[in-house]
Structure 1
């Protein structure tokens, strides 16, 4: 191996994932990023508060024990993450409860966690101090000093560790300084109360953070533990769902959850997909239809072929995508974090000036102004401000995932909220993507020759028109010819050598470029174009053998989806490589602008032109054929039922592929931004108001710490309201619950999820 290759292999970065208990706010995340980023060999640190996970990119020889030790010194508890799915334990039991079954172990109750025990201990100490002080008044101050000391030790230790690891102005530092300042002016009882209330606030943050993480855990719990797999002799065996492999045959009876992604082989019946897609009505499944892991078989026995193993099924991919999305910081979150880095030192300086300037220059009482300076320190704690944005982003992403709307991070949410135009692809996006051949027109040779060559050129392609041609040839009993030197021509068609002839199958425009005389082709094509049919033309050695006309019906909700966007003030257009008559036949009833006969570079150019005119464009397509336009647009949205393309290619994806989901994403994004603005207003407003009242002597330490804790809890609770938001609309435009579990309050005449 060359030396350079060896060096590259040795220096290739690695990634370590850790679950970090006790990391519940933005300030915690900043401390972790700063401390780990200073360690030798660490290249990148990504913190996801939503999943309490830290990802560390590092050199192969990095000391992992030092990483864990650093997290422990900061007051957190690192542990290995529980994967979304894992190999079964292999015990063969029908109901194995081992943690290897891929489900996270139940979380420790808050009162048994480190933070919970510290809170309860500090509270008990406070009660003892007040009781002892009332019984022994002469010893009141020493008793409260002891309470302060015992409550301050863990906070001060974390403050010292944070300072040594790069975060000198952490919330623990501000709390320690405030407590010491209070003690210095004889306010020991208030100092003890401040430390107790701080621990209460930390515990409340932990409870709120765990609640926001429940969405992913609930997704994993949708998977049944066991499956009924067919053996080679046709009998059934019970196996752990995690042991299912691609191409296994399983049977799912009525009332059971489907344990894996698959394709129905036998049986017809309704399947409840609401836990995954938000679609409240059962979906009728027939042989050949796809089913998702975690959905519920409602009516009859289904025999299913497994199409994805446990590590790659729909639920695992959604959970992974949501975790990654929540770890990506939105622009507003990055701005607030940068602001907090400047804001906190300014608060410390301001509090110092408040404590020192009036006594030094105005003859004021030192104890009074030191007390006020300590209160300013507590008011200035940035926790509520820092958590205001990521809490809302995490809740918004989780709410979208519950409705089958998958968005890759806060930046995507913010981008969707500002979209002004949506450019749709035609086939598979505004239409069902299941075209059928309506007519074959032979211009030279025979119909069998036309279909055999067309099927040969269509083989291996995932394009809906190619699949329609293959299906039509198969139903006619015509086998594809044997092609050589196949070459795909993006936006035009495909060419190959068949029986020593140069053959081409593609669009009408591309075919005409290969013909010396296209008059016969145009004459045959015009009636089909007038009917809005899509045409594929077969050309052999410069002559047109014939054309194949196909029709693809529009999606049922296409018109309702376009109207929903119009109500949001967003215009729509369709960009298609199909012939103009076919595109206009679709766009006309929908009332949108049509652009036809476009190559991939033409779609990209039109997106750029819209952007140059001041539009913020979202491109909706299949994620492959429209790659240049998807990349050029502010937001790329893939339509598809849980496929790899739908989940991984674009910035966002609709799990159940409805046109109306685009408007639903925009509504959710705009609501999330509203909550962010509300949270920032709450955090900043409370702090500014209390600073004023503290400066004029109306409030002190207790209201200050209550305001900090209260603001943090308020913004977190406000963000969690997004988990109940309704984003799916009916064709008439009224909101409806996306699943039976999403809106339980309707029966009482009022709805708790209208916010």
Structure 2
């Protein structure tokens, strides 16, 4: 494929609301520092992005990186294997040089807007098919005439070796000295020299089969990301001056009115203009039941209108919708590598040269020092050379992390990178903010004493039009009961006392319980306040007629969420700035400990103390929670929270359901276990074949199976996370 003439040049790679914030754990230095890990592109210089064609595994991404690093003027380079993107930061326009360097390394580039070239299966698999046919003919000739069969195997080897050796030379020129292509070339040529012609041809055939399997596994690993990208329609219907027009989604701007038919997907985040509508948001939040939305409510891009034609006002800029933010988070996940991933990457860079040295010693030392046969030990050395390929080891961690992040995103949990995923897997306790996190965040009427709807209607009449949360709660309760609210006049707020108005010829006062003597209600007031409820008195013409109790109620799923966390062995504590009585009421319902009356600095101190005992996650939604989130091992924001909380957090629950906490932690633990399994598979298979090779039990072709088989196994194992329920 030809490279694009003009790559996409962007001023900055950033994520609206949910961009990752550097933490100490992202640092590559032991003591911690204020900057992000070296893999993150710096702020200076122009940024360029392309799509890379032909990458089958994480090792391919490293090869492209090495090639681009050789280009003069490039400040930083990053290849995001999950989305096949190449990101380059440079002070000058180096696009032509970058394209040339990648082409020399054996790959090709295209712009993000350019569609992928469709290659027919026959053309794509022609080298493999050719080699299979030649291998079959060589084997047939070998059965009839050994000399001709031997020559046929040599020809088969040379045909299969040519593209691999050419790629090896390209990679050596671009700085990748120990690529699998180099190891394969040396092994095949060495096998020819010692007369193992059939095995040389078989090694190359198995290598090509392994490459195809790796390509298939890689495409499956990217399927979760591709599914998200497919949620965005290419065009949108907009209403301009009453007329409908079809435009590209890149033309949508905040304030436009878009129209979505029943069964259609939203191309951008929007505010609903239609009275009511149901939306299927399962692709983004994992919620299988359609969500009822009313006028003024926000609906994310990718949601499907279930039953009717709807109109919405566009909220997001092109590239900043809910889907775009998820995709960018998955891309940036590779910039924030988990500590274990950074260790494996460093280890693999040392591992391959060491294996090559061992292979050389195995081939040379026994014949020189022990007069052992040269052919047998060269053969063993070549086999060790193939075992030394680090592909399976290199991909073991990023494959699991990418699958884990994609699986979390499907369930409405955005986790900002491998480092955050690893930290989440270690969490043993959780600190909750109360208001807006464990509770709905809006007070509700919980009791009327005496139980008289007329009393509630009277109070609602006085409170109508007020912006105070308690007043709005009283009006909402009256409306939800279908009560007729009388008209009030002469409304006035009394400083420090309450609010009064004239209703149906009577003067009605609504005030706090301690602002008006009401001995007949004193026992109830005392009991309600001890239970953490706020009490207001309704006074008519100077006589207390009754009391209303209000409280910020628990989220519907709060108890279920806490129970699920306890099953995972995670303890919880409430850290709140609210008064002790209100905090105690919520804590008692949930069976949690609490600390109340905390300022932001107090929350930080409490989190720091708890974090010193065991890894702790801080869950919150407000500006005052942001410092505590940073002090915790990991900060988790509720999706309805403030921008500051979402920016600061390492993870966010976009569906706003607390039950997602246990799911998120369980998935993080499964991902960590998956990484360990993958590393065991990768190193275990190599260890077994290392021993069997030295003992003379296994040969070249089984060594290739050990490498490609391990790569496919670890990738398939990582894909299990996408199917996890």
TM-score under structure 2 length normalisation: 0.79
2:200 paired residue number: 191
1:627 paired residue number: 626
1:53 aligns with 2:85: yes
Following superposition, the deviation at residue 640 of structure 1 comes to 1.1
Q: Compare 204-213 and 251-260 and name the one that shifted more.
A: 251-260
Equivalent residues, number: 635
Q: Compare 250-259 and 413-422 and name the one that shifted more.
A: 250-259
CA distance in 1, matches of 2:385, 2:658: 51
CA distance in 2, matches of 1:470, 1:370: 88
1:89 paired residue number: none
1:552 paired residue number: 552
Picking from 96, 99, 103, the partner of 1:65 is 96
What is the CA deviation profile of residues 439-483 of structure 1, one whole-angstrom value per residue up to 9, with x for unaligned ones? 9xxxxxxx99x999996xx9xxxxx899989999xx9999999xx
CA distance in 1, matches of 2:318, 2:233: 11
Which secondary structure does the structure 1 equivalent of 2:189 belong to? Answer: helix
1:721 paired residue number: 720
Following superposition, the deviation at residue 377 of structure 1 comes to 0.8
What is the CA deviation profile of residues 122-169 of structure 1, one whole-angstrom value per residue up to 9, with x for unaligned ones? 334434444555566433333322322232222222222322332222
What is the CA deviation profile of residues 666-689 of structure 1, one whole-angstrom value per residue up to 9, with x for unaligned ones? 100111111111111111111111
> For 1:442-453, what aligned pairs fall within 5 Å after superposition?
none
Picking from 187, 211, 219, the partner of 1:178 is 187
Following superposition, the deviation at residue 355 of structure 1 comes to 0.9
What is the CA deviation profile of residues 16-40 of structure 1, one whole-angstrom value per residue up to 9, with x for unaligned ones? 2221122222322332333333432
Following superposition, the deviation at residue 108 of structure 1 comes to 4.2
CA distance in 1, matches of 2:474, 2:162: 75
Cα pair 2:284 2:302 within 8 Å, conserved: yes
2:601 paired residue number: 601
> For 1:346-357, what aligned pairs fall within 5 Å after superposition?
346-357=354-365
Which secondary structure does the structure 2 equivalent of 1:553 belong to? Answer: strand
Cα pair 2:464 2:472 within 8 Å, conserved: no
For structure 2, which runs of at least 5 residues remain unmatched after alignment? Answer: 1-42, 448-458, 478-484, 497-511, 519-524, 537-547
| Change in 2 beyond 3 A, CA 1:225/1:66 | closer
> For 1:509-548, what aligned pairs fall within 5 Å after superposition?
529-533=529-533
CA distance in 2, matches of 1:383, 1:664: 31
| Change in 2 beyond 3 A, CA 1:185/1:292 | same
Following superposition, the deviation at residue 596 of structure 1 comes to 1.3
1:18 aligns with 2:47: no
1:581 paired residue number: 581
Which secondary structure does the structure 2 equivalent of 1:399 belong to? Answer: helix
1:147 paired residue number: 156
Which secondary structure does the structure 2 equivalent of 1:428 belong to? Answer: helix
1:329 paired residue number: 337
1:208 aligns with 2:217: yes
Following superposition, the deviation at residue 111 of structure 1 comes to 5.3
| Change in 2 beyond 3 A, CA 1:105/1:343 | closer
1:569 paired residue number: 569
What is the CA deviation profile of residues 296-351 of structure 1, one whole-angstrom value per residue up to 9, with x for unaligned ones? 22234433332224422211221222222244321111111111112111111111
Picking from 350, 371, 392, the partner of 1:384 is 392
Picking from 400, 424, 432, the partner of 2:432 is 424
CA distance in 2, matches of 1:588, 1:558: 13
Cα pair 2:630 2:648 within 8 Å, conserved: no
Picking from 71, 75, 80, the partner of 2:111 is 80
1:169 aligns with 2:178: yes
Cα pair 1:15 1:58 within 8 Å, conserved: yes
Cα pair 2:444 2:553 within 8 Å, conserved: no
Cα pair 1:294 1:315 within 8 Å, conserved: yes
| Change in 2 beyond 3 A, CA 1:535/1:154 | farther
Cα pair 2:260 2:305 within 8 Å, conserved: yes
2:693 paired residue number: 694
| Change in 2 beyond 3 A, CA 1:642/1:176 | farther
CA distance in 2, matches of 1:632, 1:478: 51
| Change in 2 beyond 3 A, CA 1:674/1:191 | same
Following superposition, the deviation at residue 555 of structure 1 comes to 0.9
| Change in 2 beyond 3 A, CA 1:469/1:111 | farther
CA distance in 2, matches of 1:430, 1:377: 57
2:544 paired residue number: none
CA distance in 2, matches of 1:519, 1:122: 89
CA distance in 2, matches of 1:122, 1:244: 51
1:394 aligns with 2:402: yes
TM-score under structure 1 length normalisation: 0.76
Cα pair 1:317 1:647 within 8 Å, conserved: no
1:219 paired residue number: 228
| Change in 2 beyond 3 A, CA 1:479/1:577 | farther
Following superposition, the deviation at residue 372 of structure 1 comes to 0.9
For structure 1, which runs of at least 5 residues remain unmatched after alignment? Answer: 1-10, 83-98, 440-446, 459-463, 482-500, 503-517, 537-547, 727-755
Following superposition, the deviation at residue 171 of structure 1 comes to 1.4
Q: Compare 419-428 and 24-33 and name the one that shifted more.
A: 24-33
What is the CA deviation profile of residues 706-738 of structure 1, one whole-angstrom value per residue up to 9, with x for unaligned ones? 111111111111111111001xxxxxxxxxxxx
1:375 paired residue number: 383
CA distance in 2, matches of 1:160, 1:598: 64
Which secondary structure does the structure 1 equivalent of 2:47 belong to? Answer: strand
| Change in 2 beyond 3 A, CA 1:248/1:723 | same
> For 1:584-663, what aligned pairs fall within 5 Å after superposition?
584-612=584-612, 614-622=613-621, 624-640=623-639, 648-663=647-662
Which secondary structure does the structure 2 equivalent of 1:625 belong to? Answer: helix
CA distance in 2, matches of 1:478, 1:174: 89
Following superposition, the deviation at residue 392 of structure 1 comes to 0.7
CA distance in 1, matches of 2:527, 2:256: 48
Following superposition, the deviation at residue 109 of structure 1 comes to 5.6
1:409 paired residue number: 417
1:319 paired residue number: 327
Following superposition, the deviation at residue 648 of structure 1 comes to 4.4
| Change in 2 beyond 3 A, CA 1:305/1:62 | closer
Following superposition, the deviation at residue 45 of structure 1 comes to 2.1
Cα pair 1:422 1:573 within 8 Å, conserved: yes
Following superposition, the deviation at residue 429 of structure 1 comes to 1.2
What is the CA deviation profile of residues 183-232 of structure 1, one whole-angstrom value per residue up to 9, with x for unaligned ones? 11101221121112112211211111111112222112223344443332
| Change in 2 beyond 3 A, CA 1:167/1:522 | farther
| Change in 2 beyond 3 A, CA 1:81/1:647 | farther
Q: Compare 313-322 and 376-385 and name the one that shifted more.
A: 313-322
| Change in 2 beyond 3 A, CA 1:231/1:166 | closer
Cα pair 2:446 2:551 within 8 Å, conserved: yes
What is the CA deviation profile of residues 461-509 of structure 1, one whole-angstrom value per residue up to 9, with x for unaligned ones? xxx899989999xx9999999xxxxxxxxxxxxxxxxxxx99xxxxxxx
1:680 aligns with 2:693: no
CA distance in 1, matches of 2:530, 2:47: 57
Q: Compare 210-219 and 150-159 and name the one that shifted more.
A: 150-159
